Amino acid sequence: MHEKHLIWMNNKSNSAKKSVYVQARGAAQRRLRQIKKTWWSATAELLQLAADRHDMKAFYDNLKAVYGILPMSLFA
């Protein structure tokens, strides 16, 4: 995508180069959305499993991972 952007920026009047860049950008965004959706689905499944087992430690550890809070045991 970066290479296609540079090619387009060197000749901004060429609509074909812009089109190629826009398509590459769209493909990259679709892939990123797919990766995010997969991660959220897996995380939700882990949270649901922990909640169903009444495993509050695992539930809150996974919930903290979603919010980006590291457990204090990693700092010791």
Phi, psi of 17 (to 5 degrees): -70, -35
Along the chain (76 residues), what's the average pLDDT of each consecutive run of 10 residues?
A: 83 86 93 94 93 93 84 53
pLDDT at 9: 85
Identify the pLDDT of residue 54.
95
> How high is the pLDDT of residue 76?
46
**Span 18-37, pLDDT tens digits:** 899 899 999 999 999 999 99
Q: Whose structure tokens read 């430690």?
A: 57
Q: What is the pLDDT of residue 50?
A: 94
Helices 2-10 + 15-52 axis angle, to 10: 160
Q: Which residue in 48, 68, 72, 67 sits closest to 58, CA to CA? A: 48
Residue in the structure block whose two tokens are 């000749």: 11
